[in-house]
């Protein structure tokens, strides 16, 4: 391979602007995937990605492109997710690249994650190539979007390719731009070997597979790879690339992006962000790696069947290989037994992990109400951090509580500014500024408690702006707040897994709403169940779940047997994610009740 003909790039964009579709067209245009094997969003190979129509995991493929200059280039394309919760995947992809193709939807313009991803690319010193997509749509406004890219981002967009990733129009211009403007990798085959691990996953036959970008030197089958951070050494059994089909090769050389198998059985030896070198051509130093992401939301994950605790531990260990932003630690709950306190980047991340654990490891899980990290500050100014409302100490034993605040930036057409300000105000937001983006769009900035953002802010924002606004946020620190723990009692007993920390002024309304919601969600049982919300033992809201009156099967007796079977099956299905707490059966949804009340 001629190193000067290698190009490594990512495709970045706001969600839905067309990254995965552009990747499809590039794979097709370069003949990497034959037309008859083509399907939409081909790189979104996880079932969950296909069902939800979103990219969750980054994906790296190798392809060749014969450019107009007559030379054949070797390209590595890394597709990335667009949702905020997965920005960690983006920053890892970018560290493996030399350039980024920035896709902007010609009907939408620059959105919050367009900007966030540009910052990530700049952090990695990447060449950024703007591309204007969806020009086939009647509402495309290419000139306005070009101006926006220049004004808001500060990139020259005059010569940006104007494409339709859907029809393939002008996609060849993007490839030409890539080979002309993205630099070739700068390392050397003669330098000590350094390869950046930017992803990994567990394969039950071959052990841990690591995905690397080789920055210097080479890695051959039979070489002894050394993980610098964890100081572990293994012999390489296989290396290869994906096209997106997995292809095995004899070696990976400088500039290549591919996978390595080395019978790595101990998952703990592999850290995404670590550097691999070889004993045959050893480097003493590691590549910079990247900043660790800190989880923003925590919840407890418990197996419905207590006997499967060890399986859950195993599953978490394996899944965290391919998702290094996930954290987990054992915890116990009086109500739910043994489980893990898990940390996530956001609610979508939490939801995706729970679903992946259930599908890929055949587990049934209960997730408890999510919580941010609070600081309990003592009189001497020292503090302890808690990520579980159940571990909040009694009032009187500390001075005050602090909660995380974020600076939220919302990009919106100006028609919705009023609605957005109302929403932010209702969520305890503190107005900071409104900035001008162009004639018809503004950036609204508020400081707000993280907990208010995480819960249903996104849905509310979407519905109050018809989906036209986008947002991004960053942590700005902790602030004192008037917060208190709210307990939920079922049948007179506090259920620790249902406790939440609430803003005192919201407690009564929230308490009421949760009780009503629980009444809806918890199936009737043989006896009446009082549902109560309490602050420090003082009841602030209550309702009752009435006892079942008659056998649900009674009306089927003598009737249609298949209908009876169906009913029983339906009940069994419903039982799957149910947990008996004392004498009450609680379904999964009940633990999420806090999210859907307001
Ligand atoms: P991603 O979230 O950035 O990966 O976006 P996708 O590639 O999944 O595309 C989001 C939606 O936009 C899909 O429904 C695509 O079919 C559609 N789309 C992508 N590119 C174009 C385009 O050039 N024209 C039109 N009309 N639709 C497009
Ligand atoms: Mg995608």
Ramachandran angles phi, psi of 322, nearest 5°: -95, 5
d(CA 323, CA 273): 12
Q: Cα(14) to centroid of ligand 2, in Å?
A: 9
Pocket test for ligand 1, best of 18, 54, 140 (most atoms within 8 A of CB): 18
Q: Is 136 in the pocket of ligand 1 (CB under 6 A)?
A: yes
Confidence band, pLDDT 50/70/90 cuts, at residue 239: very high
Is the model's pLDDT at 569 over the cut of 70? no
Is residue 165 lining ligand 1, measured as CB closer than 6 Å? Answer: yes
Ligand 1 contact, 108 CB (< 6 A)? no
ipTM of the complex: 0.99
Q: Which atom of ligand 1 is nearest to the CA of 13?
A: 3
- Which of 318-327, 335-344, 512-521 comes out lowest in average pLDDT? 318-327
Q: Taking 70 as the threshold, does the pLDDT of residue 236 lie above it?
A: yes
What HEC string does 478-491 produce? Answer: EEEECEEEEEEEEC
In this prediction, residues 400-407 reach a mean pLDDT of 96
Distance 16 CA to ligand 1 centre (A): 6
Q: Which residues pair with 281 in a beta bridge?
A: 278
Token couple for 97: 């690249």
Task: Kindly report the average pLDDT of the chain as a whole number.
Answer: 88
111 lines ligand 1 (CB under 6 A): no
Q: Say how many Å lie between the CA of residue 221 and the centre of ligand 2.
A: 33
pLDDT of residue 488: 93
- Ligand (nearest to CA of 105): 1
Q: Which ligand is nearest to the CA of 165?
A: 1
CA-derived radius of gyration, the chain: 27
Q: Is 134 annotated as a binding residue?
A: yes
Contact by Cβ (8 Å): 405, 448: yes
Q: Which of 320-324, 337-341, 486-490 has the lowest mean pLDDT?
A: 320-324
Please tell me whether 133 is known to bind a ligand: yes
Ligand 1 contact, 91 CB (< 6 A)? no
Q: Which of 11, 20, 21, 101 to mutate to test the pocket of ligand 1 (most atoms within 8 A of CB)?
A: 21
Q: Which residue matches tokens 């990747």?
A: 23
Between CA 362 and CA 347 the distance in angstroms is: 21
Alpha-carbon distance of 517 to 150, in angstroms, equals: 48
Say if strands 365-367 and 297-303 run parallel, antiparallel, or are unpaired: antiparallel
Q: Does 135 show up as a binding residue in the annotation?
A: yes
Give 346 Cα–ligand 2 centroid separation in angstroms: 18
Percent of the chain scoring above 70 in pLDDT: 91
Contact call for residues 207 and 235 (beta carbons, < 8 A): no
Which CA distances in Å does 109 have to 61, 160, 391?
Answer: 28, 14, 45
Q: Among 279-288, 382-391, 557-566, whose mean pLDDT is lowest?
A: 557-566
- How many angstroms does the Cα of residue 34 sit away from the middle of ligand 1? 21
495-524 average pLDDT score: 90
Residue nearest to atom 6 of ligand 1 (CA): 18
Confidence of residue 34 (pLDDT cuts 50, 70, 90): confident
**Binding site membership of 83 for ligand 1 (Cβ less than 6 Å):** no
**Annotation-wise, does 239 bind a ligand?**
no
CA of 133 to the centre of ligand 1 (A): 9
- 3-state secondary structure string across 537-589: CEEEEEEEECCCCCCCCHHHCCCCHHHHHHHHHHHHHHHCCEEEECCEEEEHH
Q: In what order do the strands lie in the sheet with 99-105?
A: 59-66, 72-79, 6-13, 99-105, 127-133
Stretch 384-412: mean pLDDT: 92
Residue whose CA is at the smallest distance from ligand 1 atom 11: 16
Residue 575 has pLDDT above 60, yes or no: no
Q: Which long-range contacts (CB under 8 A, 24 or more apart) does 571-577 make?
A: 574/523, 576/304, 576/364, 577/304, 577/364, 577/365, 577/366
Predicted TM-score of the model (pTM): 0.81
What pLDDT is recorded for position 186? 93
If we measure between CA atoms, which residue out of 85, 73, 80, 86 comes closest to residue 6? 73
- The percentage of residues in the chain with a pLDDT greater than 90, rounded to a whole number, is 55
DSSP string covering 142-191, please? HHHHHHHIIIII----TT--B--TTT-TTHHHHHHHHHHHSPPP---TTS
| CA–CA dist 440, 450 (Å, integer) | 29
Question: Is the distance from the beta carbon of residue 16 to the nearest atom of ligand 1 less than 6 Å?
Answer: yes
On whether the CB atoms of residues 564 and 555 are closer than 8 A, the answer is no
The CB of 55 under 6 Å from ligand 1? The reply is yes
Cβ-contact 267, 318 below 8 angstroms:
yes
DSSP 8-state assignment for residue 392: P
Was 388 annotated as part of a binding site? no
Q: Which of 408, 401, 355 is nearest to 377 (CA)?
A: 401
79 lines ligand 1 (CB under 6 A): no
| Residues 331, 337, 340, 345, Cα dihedral to 10° | -110
Q: Which three-class secondary structure state does DSSP give residue 526?
A: coil
Look at residue 510 and tell me whether its pLDDT is greater than 80. Answer: yes
Strand partners of residue 431: 446
**561 pLDDT higher than 70:** no
Report how far residue 387's alpha carbon sits from residue 381's, in angstroms, rounded to the nearest whole number.
19
């Amino acid at each position: 391979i001629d190193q000067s003909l290698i190009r490594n790039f990512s495709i970045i964009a706001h969600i839905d602007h067309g990254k995965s579709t552009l990747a499809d067209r590039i794979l097709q245009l370069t003949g990497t995937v034959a037309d008859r094997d083509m399907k939409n969003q081909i790189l979104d190979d996880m079932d969950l990605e296909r069902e939800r129509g979103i990219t969750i995991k980054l994906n790296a493929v190798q392809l060749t492109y014969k450019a107009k200059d007559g030379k054949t280039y070797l390209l590595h394309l890394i597709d990335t997710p667009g949702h905020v919760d997965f920005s960690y995947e983006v920053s890892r992809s970018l560290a493996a690249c030399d350039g980024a193709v920035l896709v902007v939807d010609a009907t939408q313009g620059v959105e919050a994650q367009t900007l966030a991803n540009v910052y990530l690319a700049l952090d990695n010193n990447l060449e950024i190539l703007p591309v204007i997509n969806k020009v086939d749509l009647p509402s495309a406004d290419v000139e306005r979007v070009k101006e926006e890219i220049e004004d808001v981002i500060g990139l020259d967009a005059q010569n940006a390719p104007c494409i339709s990733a859907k029809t393939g129009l002008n996609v060849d211009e993007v490839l030409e731009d890539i080979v002309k403007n993205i630099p070739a990798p700068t390392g050397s085959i003669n330098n000590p070997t350094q390869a950046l691990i930017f992803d990994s996953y567990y394969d039950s036959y071959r052990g841990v597979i690591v995905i690397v970008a080789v920055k210097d030197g080479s890695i051959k089958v039979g070489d002894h790879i050394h993980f610098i951070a964890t100081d572990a050494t293994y012999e390489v059994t296989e290396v290869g690339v994906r096209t997106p089909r997995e292809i095995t090769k004899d070696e990976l050389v400088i500039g290549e992006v591919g996978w390595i198998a080395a019978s790595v059985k101990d998952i703990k030896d592999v850290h995404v962000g670590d550097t691999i070198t070889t004993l045959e051509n050893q480097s003493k130093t590691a590549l910079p790696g990247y900043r660790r992401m800190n989880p923003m939301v925590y919840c407890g994950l418990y197996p419905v069947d207590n006997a499967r605790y060890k399986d859950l531990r195993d599953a978490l260990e394996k899944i965290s290989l391919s998702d290094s932003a996930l954290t987990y630690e054992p915890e116990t709950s009086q109500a739910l037994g043994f489980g893990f306190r898990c940390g996530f980047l956001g609610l979508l991340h939490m939801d995706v992990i729970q679903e992946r654990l259930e599908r890929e490891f055949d587990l049934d899980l209960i997730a408890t109400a999510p919580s941010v990290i609070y600081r309990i500050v003592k009189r001497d100014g020292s503090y302890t951090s808690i990520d579980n409302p159940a571990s909040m100490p009694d009032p009187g034993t500390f001075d005050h509580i602090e909660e995380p605040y974020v600076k939220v930036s919302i990009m919106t057409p100006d028609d919705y500014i009023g609605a957005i300000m109302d929403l932010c105000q209702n969520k305890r937001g503190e107005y900071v500024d409104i900035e001008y983006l162009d004639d018809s769009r503004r950036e609204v900035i508020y400081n707000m408690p993280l907990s208010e953002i995480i819960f249903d802010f996104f849905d509310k924002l979407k519905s109050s702006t018809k989906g036209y606004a986008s947002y991004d946020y960053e942590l700005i620190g902790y602030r004192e707040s008037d917060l208190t723990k709210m307990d939920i009692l079922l049948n007179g007993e506090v259920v620790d897994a249902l406790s939440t920390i609430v803003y005192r002024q919201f407690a009564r309304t929230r308490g009421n709403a949760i009780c009503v919601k629980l009444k809806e969600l918890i199936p009737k049982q043989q006896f009446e169940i009082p549902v109560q919300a309490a602050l420090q033992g003082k009841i602030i809201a209550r309702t009752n779940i009435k006892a079942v009156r008659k056998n649900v099967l009674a009306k089927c007796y003598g009737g249609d047997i298949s209908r009876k079977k169906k009913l029983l099956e339906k009940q069994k299905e419903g039982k799957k994610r149910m947990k008996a707490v004392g004498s009450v059966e609680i379904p999964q949804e009940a633990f999420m009740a806090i999210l859907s009340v307001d």
